[in-house]
Amino acid sequence: MLQDWFIEAKLGIFIHWGIYAVKPTGESWPFFNGEISYEDYMSQMDGFGAEKYDPAAWAKLIQEAGAQYAILTTKHHDGVALWDTKLSDLNVIEKCPAGRDLIEPYCAALREHDIKVGLYFSHLDWSHPDYPSLPKEIPEEDTGGASKTNRFNYQGKTDYEAWSRFLAFHRGQLKELCTQFDPDLLWFDGDWDRSSEEWKMKELRDELHAWAPGVVLNSRMKAYGDYSTPEQGLPVLSPDGEWEYCMTMNDHWGYMDSDTNYKSLSQIIRIFVECISMGGKLLLDIGPRADGTIPEEQEERLRGLGSWIRKHKEAAIESIKGISRNHYAGPSTLSRDRKNLYLFLFDLPQNQIFLNGLRNPIKRITILGTKEELEYKRMGGADWLNIPGNLWIDFPSQFEIGMGSVVKIELESELDLFTGKGGAVAQN
Ligand code: FHN
């Protein structure tokens, strides 16, 4: 169920960590798509040692990034559990040099740093013998030389005896996660294969709340989640209700040494601001190496984002969604009491900053984090119709191009905007 901490949160850190970081191959999909054989993919278990895993350092970095919560993969579609599950020997304790539970220390470290604990769990499990799958011939040219029959692609009818055994396993692992780690949030994935009825999602919601009272559930439980999870494509319009946009820093969720296509810090800040201006939050992904270290490019971006957030905290974290882009042609937020309006500037204005439809008298306009006051002038308007003029704001002398500056407009009263179609318009 939704909690105040989640509604007020603005930034989460997503962590995709698993055996797929060893070669690396990318998470689960390479064997599903026949790019490599299942055996080849799973051989990575021999190299997953978590030798330098330092959850306290992770938690400190997540805190320095300015995040309020984090989500760690406990089991991706490959079925390899990062905790000591008693329901399968496919886990990093029994099959990997890591040889220990990796989830409990993550949860403890986050809690020591006042970061809410999120656990990712894949409903589907491409390693489980009872997960419904029927052999499907895939054309040689589509397999890249891998085995012609990919037992992970299933078509047609499900064996419902196997399915009920799988559901018992699915529930059993979720009960382990809930009762052993008491997560604040469960981030589900992989519900697409079966219907809500086949997953028994309605019953699952009740079971989860019995095992972890108050736990927040993401949308990937068919219709039984608490919030939307748009992924990789930044929404243009705000999804209904609470939502969180999840995004990679480069093009891979898990560690991929060859992937240097990183978004710049300025781009990440801009995407973060676009999310919060629409009332959403950003779940920014990192992919640690098999030894538990975090790629320097990712650590650098997390620290840079945190530094920017600390400088603009009242506009970025202690705020609510902003105003329509019909009023200001850019992202904005409001203070919770609606008496401060924050306009985010990422591009150098050619002349002045333009705001339309603001009725409030203004106390002053400054650049957040500086003492610089900006000159402004209200022009036009139709007082007899209570239609305010336009506000023209001189842009700041010191302007940090790209990293996002914030114009703070302190109002004499709660925000009052004109939202009509104008005054005495000509009647057709
Ligand atoms: O298939 C997964 C994918 O590997 C990755 O974990 C993303 C993260 O949101 N979720 C699924 C694709 O939507």
* pLDDT tens track for 263-302: 999 999 999 999 999 999 999 999 999 999 999 999 999 9
- 162-197 per-position pLDDT tens digit: 889 999 999 999 999 999 999 999 999 999 878 899
The predicted-structure confidence for 311-326, as pLDDT tens digits, reads as follows 999 999 999 999 999 9
Q: What is the per-residue pLDDT across 209-262, written as a single tens digit (0 to 9) for each?
A: 999 999 999 999 999 999 999 999 999 999 999 999 999 999 999 999 999 999
Residue 220 near residue 253, CB atoms below 8 Å: no
Whole-number pLDDT of residue 151? 44
Q: Which residue is listed with tokens 């040494």?
A: 257
Question: How would residue 152 be classed by pLDDT, with cut points 50, 70 and 90?
Answer: very low
pLDDT at residue number 421: 85
Percent of the chain with pLDDT over 90: 81
Can you tell me the mean pLDDT for 14-39? Answer: 94
pLDDT in tens, 372-403: 899 999 999 998 999 998 999 998 776 666 68
- Does residue 145 have a pLDDT over 50? no
Mutate to test the pocket of ligand 1, among 253, 283, 285, 286 (most ligand atoms within 8 A of CB): 253
Task: Look at residue 139 in the predicted model and tell me its pLDDT.
Answer: 53
**Cα–Cα distance measured from residue 132 to residue 157, given in angstroms and rounded to the nearest whole number:** 9
Q: Whose CA is nearest to atom 11 of ligand 1?
A: 189
Distance of alpha carbon 281 from alpha carbon 9, whole angstroms: 7
> Could you tell me the pLDDT band of residue 132, with boundaries at 50, 70 and 90?
low
The pLDDT of residue 425 is above 70: no
Ligand 1: centre distance to CA 192 (Å): 11
Task: Tell me how far the alpha carbon of residue 114 lies from the centroid of ligand 1, in angstroms.
Answer: 27
* pLDDT (0 to 100) of residue 138: 47
> Peptide bond before 24: cis, by omega within 30 degrees of 0?
yes
* pLDDT in the model for residue 135: 36
140 has a pLDDT exceeding 80: no
pLDDT higher than 60, residue 137: no
Cα-to-centroid distance, 385 and ligand 1 (Å): 52
- DSSP H or E run through 336: none
Q: Which of 15, 20, 120, 231 to mutate to test the pocket of ligand 1 (most atoms within 8 A of CB)?
A: 231
Mean of all residue pLDDT scores within the chain: 92
Q: State residue 144's pLDDT score.
A: 47
- The one-character DSSP state at 424 is S
pLDDT computed for residue 426 by the predictor: 53
Ligand 1: atom nearest CA of 76 is 6
Q: What is the DSSP string of 351-413?
A: SEEEEESB-S-EEEEEETTS--B--EEEE--BGGGTB--EEEEEPPSS--TTT-EEEEEEESS
The ligand 1 atom nearest the CA atom of 231: 9
Q: How far is the CA of 126 from the centre of ligand 1 (A)?
A: 14
140: buried, middle or exposed (CB in 10 Å: 19+, 13-18, 0-12)?
A: exposed
Distance 188 CA to ligand 1 centre (A): 10
| Ligand 1 interacting residues, C-beta cut-off 6 A | 27-29, 189, 231, 246, 253
Q: What is the largest CA-CA distance in the chain?
A: 78
Whether the full predicted model's pTM is greater than 0.85, yes or no, is yes
Question: Which ligand 1 atom is at minimum distance from the Cα of 232?
Answer: 9
- Mean pLDDT is lowest, of 2-16, 147-161, 240-254, 304-318, for 147-161
pLDDT of residue 261: 98
User: In this predicted model, what pLDDT tens digit does every residue of 80-123 receive, in sequence order?
Assistant: 999 999 999 999 999 999 999 999 999 999 999 999 999 999 99
Give the pLDDT band (50/70/90) at residue 350. confident
Instruction: State in Å: Cα 270 to ligand 1 middle.
Output: 23
